[in-house]
Homo-oligomer: A and B are copies of this chain.
Amino acid sequence: MINEALLTQYHATVVSLNKGDVLFQQGDSATSFYIVKTGKIKMSNYSEDGREFVQGYFTAGQSFGEPPFFSKGPYPASAAATEKSEVWKIGYNDFLQLLKDNFPIHLEITKTLGTRLVYKSTMLSELAIEEAEHRLLTLIRHLVDHEHLRTQKQVILSFTRQQLADMTGLRVETVIRSIKSLEHKRQLKIDNDGKIVWSQNEK
């Protein structure tokens, strides 16, 4: 995460968003780079008949929208706030200068892109050749490792079945049925509130 003094020094500004506000739309030309200051941003695609696919959720400290920013193309997905949020916004030339002046930050960005590329490649192959339950297990493993502080050896997932559906290209009924089936097979647990519980030993 880049410190705020540095962001200000390179002319970054803060954009405030209310729940539901759209920051940019798929197809808009990517002229800015964003970092979440507070709140939560959802990046997603929509098919012509309204189906949604969620590329990811971004919270405090995470950057998003970089890929087309660097490659100077249009955004491949839309971004909207899922709750009241603030995001840092910084322009292309300013950001390039920042990177040029700060190798460690540039490297940090490069690593972030690398990590994200690994995730996309993994999910892409899952969607292409694996079936529902396998896809869900892979996604859940990723969420546990990257989105949750993995403090104890039991992690209670904060994602709803609908959100898992939106991130795997499945329908919510299929996720519900698959999660049940995985519980029967003892691949995961479901607690009293219906929340999905992941244990360390589940590989």
Contact = CB atoms under 8 A, between A and B. Distances in A.
Interface of A: 45-47, 51-53, 55, 66-71, 73, 76-77, 96, 99-100, 103, 106-107, 109-111, 113-118, 120-125, 127-130, 168-169
A121 B121 CA distance: 9
Identify which of A67, A68, A127 gathers the most chain B CB atoms within 10 Å of its CB: A67
A70 B169 contact: no
Nearest to A165: B128
Contact of A125 (B53, B70, B100, B116): B53
SS class of chain A's interface: helix, strand, loop or mixed? Answer: helix
Nearest to A111: B70
B70 A129 contact: no
Contacts of A73: 115, 118
Contact of A114 (B55, B113, B121): B113
B67 A121 contact: yes
Given A55-B124, A128-B169, 12 more contacts: A47-B130, A67-B114, A67-B115, A70-B115, A71-B111, A71-B115, A77-B121, A99-B110, A100-B103, A106-B110, A116-B117, A127-B127
A52 B96 CA distance: 39
A84 B69 CA distance: 36
Contacts of A130: 47
Contacts of A169: 127-129
Nearest to A125: B45
Identify which of A68, A76, A130 gathers the most chain B CB atoms within 10 Å of its CB: A76
Contacts of A69: 114
B118 A68 contact: yes
A71 B109 CA distance: 11
15 contacts: A45-B125, A46-B129, A47-B130, A67-B117, A67-B118, A68-B114, A70-B115, A73-B115, A76-B121, A76-B125, A77-B121, A99-B103, A127-B128, A127-B169, A128-B168
